[in-house]
Structure 1
Amino acid sequence: MRTQSSATGSAPIAVIAQHDQRALGTGMAALGVASFSLTFPATAWGLESFGAWSLVAVRSVVAALVAGGCLLALRVRLPERRHLPGLAVVGLGVVLGFPMLTTLALRTSTTAHAAVVVGLLPLTTAVCSALRTGHRPSRRFWLAAVAGAAAVLAFTIGQSGGALTAADGYLFAALLVCAAGYTEGGRLACRMPGWQVIAWALVLCLPVGVPAAVVALAHEPVRLTGHGVVGLLWVAVGSQFLGLVVWYRGMAAIGIPRASQLQLAQPLLTLVWSALLLGEHFTAAAPVTAVAVLVCIAVTQRS
């Protein structure tokens, strides 16, 4: 009887612990989204002082130095050899590919137009995750994800006047490589601490980032301004390292597809930051789209 009572009493505790873990994971992923929403405005600031190639190379080096310092301070062991291919995918997709492609796009595109990328990223990540891990979300999940992506896409294209630009090629390529990096990073975060995933990916990219930074800085003019320095520091430390630390931790806790849908709110947050920090304007359609997106997020979180 005592054993049965103990087993029965432990069940609610396990349910509460699971609920708390999911709530913590959702909070971590949401913090990551909030950090990412500042990436495009910060990149626009960074481009005031650096060329596109210089900005991406220097940000990767700065982020890698911070990440490497954390690994050394905590005496973290080298990653297992079997994890290296996955870390390489994270590095190529999240550390190098996405920043480079979006920075090139932002030379000729507004941040509002670039938000098309992150508007479609949750759906692309969910598809990539299903192909990579074999996980199959429910039909309701897919319907809500597609509806949310469609709402964000319609809003952001409307904000840019409905015209496609030459930067769209960069943006859609960035969409694909980032989805691959997110998926592989989320998978690795289930096997090792999430912060170590992005930290090792950054360190592995140093042999590319350092010579790229030297060459880029030698060929592109640098005009340091307050905005430029703040933008560089944010995309390097805030977006590239700390944001991905909490993002991968959240994905490991609540799953890649569910976490990816929280990013449906990212374009709208980016538009708010763009208005506040860059003086860009958007129409009254924003509140309507925000409500539609929040409904889609609620549905995906319960699917």
Structure 2
Amino acid sequence: MERTSNLQHRLVQSHASGWINGLIGVLIFSGSLPATRVAVLEFDPVFLTVARATLAAILALCLLLLFKEKRPARQQLLPLAIVASGVVVGFPLLTALALQYVTSAHSIVFVGLLPLATAVFGVLRGGERPRPVFWVFSVLGSLLVVGFAISQGLTASPQGDLLMLLAILACGLGYAEGAKLSRTLGGWQVICWALVLALPVMALVTWWRAPATFANISAPAWFSLAYVSLFSMLIGFVFWYRGLAQGGIAAVGQLQLLQPFFGLTLAATLLHEHVSLGMLGVTVAVILCVAGAKRCAR
């Protein structure tokens, strides 16, 4: 009986830690799209994507060497490649391209689709089985997001909206695969090894796509590049993958619905972008759906 009680206590503690780590990750990620929006005004989107990955990978390699981490097993290389393709290349590149057509405030609302995408890939790749009511709330929240995009006029920026949808799919796959792998490899080790795996290609493309001169790049653009390289590409994932592994991919993944609130606040205060009542209304409605989904996730 005592042994069972101790096990239950440890499970509760792990679940609580998962939500705390997940929330820290979401707070860090909330600055990603506004920072990318600032950076892409002066940096080529492809260069921005590979440069942020290269800088983060160099730091990740230093951490792995410093702590003398053991190399991943052969069977872990494919999952690491999936993580790298989703969160190191796919999501950063697709969002950088999308932000040439839409504002960061508009793109942030698409983050409302991330919990559903993460949960779906959590079932497909992580073996999780949320209750049926969970999917009702998740799908309803996603429909609200898609409905908002349509109401804003998809014909005005079909490229931007399509790129954001593809980015969400890539990110959801990378989140779920990384969370599954972190159970055996470790949270920060997953993103570090994924970055290092992509480093040779990222470094080569960085050199190839580098502008002829950096003289005209402003301080805000450099700061934004530093933020997405250090925080969005590395530090945020340390907390996020650990949180997903501790609290469950589908459940903790719902915290991503708080990201639009934080992101819209940054877009309005730092970038002075217009945040409409429609954006806020959709965000509130989607978060209510997430609250319902959280109660129904196993």
- TM-score higher than 0.5: yes
* C-alpha RMSD of the superposition: 2.1
- Relative to the length of structure 1, the TM-score reads 0.90
Instruction: Note the alpha carbon deviations across 1:86-139, whole angstroms, 9 max, x for none.
Output: 000000111011101110111121112212432112111211222223432111
1:111, 1:59 → 2: CA distance? 18
* Partner residue of 2:38 out of 22, 39, 45: 45
Task: Give the paired residue count.
Answer: 296
Whether the 8 Å CA contact 1:48–1:225 is kept in 2: the answer is no
Instruction: Note the alpha carbon deviations across 1:254-299, whole angstroms, 9 max, x for none.
Output: 1111122111221232111100111011233455445433432332
* Partner residue of 2:221 out of 211, 228, 245: 228
Whether the 8 Å CA contact 1:91–1:202 is kept in 2: the answer is yes
2:181, 2:228 → 1: CA distance? 23
Offset at residue 229 of structure 1 (A): 1.1
Report the secondary structure of 2:65's partner residue: helix
In structure 2, the residue matched to 1:181 is: 174
* Partner residue of 1:258 out of 234, 240, 251: 251
Gaps (5+ residues) in structure 1?
A: 1-7
Q: Percent identity of the aligned residues?
A: 38
In structure 2, the residue matched to 1:270 is: 263
1:207, 1:193 → 2: CA distance? 23
Whether the 8 Å CA contact 1:117–1:172 is kept in 2: the answer is yes
Offset at residue 57 of structure 1 (A): 1.2
Offset at residue 301 of structure 1 (A): 2.2
2:213, 2:161 → 1: CA distance? 24
| Larger mean Cα displacement after TM superposition, 148-157 or 132-141 | 148-157
Code of the residue aligned with 2:254 in structure 1: it is Q
Offset at residue 36 of structure 1 (A): 1.2
- The answer to whether residue 115 in structure 2 is matched with residue 122 in structure 1 is yes
| Larger mean Cα displacement after TM superposition, 131-140 or 22-31 | 131-140
- The answer to whether residue 89 in structure 2 is matched with residue 67 in structure 1 is no
In structure 2, the residue matched to 1:208 is: 201
Report the secondary structure of 1:191's partner residue: helix
Structure 1 152/64 Cα, relative in aligned 2: closer, same or farther at 3 Å? Answer: same
In structure 2, the residue matched to 1:85 is: 78
1:179, 1:291 → 2: CA distance? 22
